């Protein structure tokens, strides 16, 4: 009983699936047989035509009989050619219908696959995933800004160190110049003694001479410094 049930459902489905294929094979077999008959009839017509031509002058009855048989073969050939055209049209129709069915089945399978893929997806889940991505991008930007700030602070510290180092170098240079007696002209001018208030007028020429000497001395020091 169970075997009969399997044969009914399983075997029936298999036969239904193979029906177009079997029909096409059967039609092609019949088409091949008709093509052979068509060629045979054409040969028979040619043979009877040759007989009629042979006896057209010497034996008119034999020539007429040959033409009569040629007409019969010609009528059979017309029927056979029509059958061939019908079979070819049916084969084409079945092949087209089978291709359409297979295309539709493929589209149904594609639709089922899309449903399977989208089965676990909803708009809320998509929105949640996009929001999580935006949060991660924001965290990444904050981390990048924090790293950039640390780098900027380090660069600022380096700048302050460079300024302090430049001041120390300037102080060292000033000390060396003082020890060697090479004093910048501007510093020497500031160190000149101021003219005392109420100085006797008789000493003015001497002061002017000293100033000239100091000026010459400053020029020499400036030349040596260069």
* pLDDT 10s digits, 205-224: 666 677 777 777 667 666 65
**pLDDT tens-digit map of 71-121:** 999 999 999 999 999 999 999 999 999 899 889 999 999 998 888 888 877
First to last CA, the chain: 124
pLDDT digits (tens, 9 = 90+) for 170-200: 888 888 878 775 555 554 444 445 444 444 4
| Predicted model pTM | 0.46
Tokens of residue 55, six digits: 């006896």
Ranges 55-64, 72-81, 116-125, 146-155, most confident: 72-81
Fold category of 2-120 in CATH? Helix Hairpins (1.10.287)
d(CA 185, CA 226): 12
pLDDT value of position 170: 86
């Amino acid at each position: 009983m169970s075997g009969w049930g399997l044969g009914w459902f399983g075997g029936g489905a298999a036969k239904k699936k193979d029906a177009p294929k079997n029909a096409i094979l059967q039609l092609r077999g019949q088409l091949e047989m008709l093509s052979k008959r068509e060629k045979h009839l054409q040969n028979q017509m040619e043979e009877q035509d040759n007989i009629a031509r042979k006896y057209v002058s010497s034996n008119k009855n034999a020539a007429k009989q040959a033409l009569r048989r040629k007409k019969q073969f010609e009528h059979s050939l017309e029927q056979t050619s029509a059958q061939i055209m019908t079979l070819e049209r049916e084969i084409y129709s079945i092949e087209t219908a089978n291709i359409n069915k297979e295309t539709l089945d493929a589209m149904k399978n594609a639709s089922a696959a899309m449903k399977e893929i989208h089965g676990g997806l909803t708009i809320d889940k998509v929105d949640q995933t996009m929001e999580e991505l935006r949060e991660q991008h924001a965290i990444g930007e904050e981390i990048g800004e924090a790293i950039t700030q640390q780098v900027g602070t380090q660069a600022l510290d380096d700048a302050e160190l460079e300024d302090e180092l430049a001041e120390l170098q300037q102080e060292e240079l000033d000390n060396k110049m003082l020890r060697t007696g090479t004093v910048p002209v501007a510093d020497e001018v500031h160190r000149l003694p101021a003219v005392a208030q109420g100085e006797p007028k008789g000493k003015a020429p001497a002061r002017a001479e000293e100033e000239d000497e100091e000026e010459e001395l400053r020029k020499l020091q400036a030349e040596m410094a260069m």
